Each structure stands twice: as C-alpha cells, then as structure tokens.
Amino acid sequence: MSAADLPVTFRPQRTRVVLVSAGLVIFATLTAIAATLSLNVGERISFVVVGLFFLGGLLLLGRPKVVAADDGVTVTNLTQRRHLAWAEILRVNLRPGDPWVSLDLADGTSLPAMGIQPGIARERAEQDARALAGMAAERGTGASGA
C-alpha cells in the first residue's frame, strides 16, 4: 500500500452493522412497549432509559477501529484511543484463535487493536492484519507476524 493510499481505516464493519442494528431494534422495541402499555410516566421513562443503555452499550462495542496514516497508527478500542508512531510498532500479530490483532511495541508492551477482529469476517481480518503489518514493516521497524 503506497503513501497515497493513506489514511486507511480498519474496522469490523459487519460486526458494527449487527451491533448498531440490534441496538436500534432493542431501543425501538422498548420505546414501543412503553408507549403501548398502560404505565405511569416514571415506568415509561424507565423503559426508554433502559433502551438507551442497551443502545449505548452496543454502540460502544462497535467503536473500535485502527487508522493508519502517514504519521503513524491510531488505535481506538472500547474506552481508549492511542496514537503510535510507525517506529513504535515492532510486530502485528493475529494468531489462530485470537479475538483481535495485537501490536508488539518498542517499549516491551503489547496493545490490543480491536479494530481488526476475525469474528464474522475472518478472511477480511487476516487481509487487514497483513496490510497493517506490511505498512509497519515499510514505514517503521515492524516485522510481520500476521
């Protein structure tokens, strides 16, 4: 992948569609129940709030992504975002059975990159992991482990 192709965003698209769809269906169902049952105002609000919690939780699960740009990689997981320079990434790993890619870093730690996960699209995740490993090898000190 050339520098002209950057930035590239890796995201488990099918998983995200399923999560967002399920969240919207749950929210709409609970809101419809609140509207149709003979409940007092507090109970109706409770149904809607529970629906919002479900929707929010599922949207949070659909948040992970990995963005590769000229200046490095930004990894967004459930609750955190971290930007890495290309030289910080030593290895990109996606072994059989791994729930997502992990990045071995120059400081001796490992960072999960939940934006590339084999869940319901294993072939796509493997392609994305190889592409990210290739970019890391080309732009930094990276080696391929994908």
Sorted by where each begins, the domain ranges of the chain are 3-11+65-145, 13-61
Helices (H) and strands (E) in the chain, counts: 3, 8
What is the rounded average pLDDT for all residues in the chain?
91
Higher pLDDT, 127 or 5: 127
Q: Render pLDDT for 13-64 as a digit per residue (tens, 0 to 9).
A: 888 999 999 999 999 999 999 999 999 999 999 999 999 999 999 999 999 9
CB 129 within 8 A of CB 101: yes
Six-digit token string for 61: 């699960």
- Is the pTM value of this prediction over 0.75? yes
Q: What percent of the chain has pLDDT over 90?
A: 80
Residue 142 has pLDDT above 60, yes or no: no
pLDDT at 26: 97
| pLDDT surpasses 90 at 120 | no
Burial of 88 (0-12, 13-18, 19+ CB in 10 A): buried
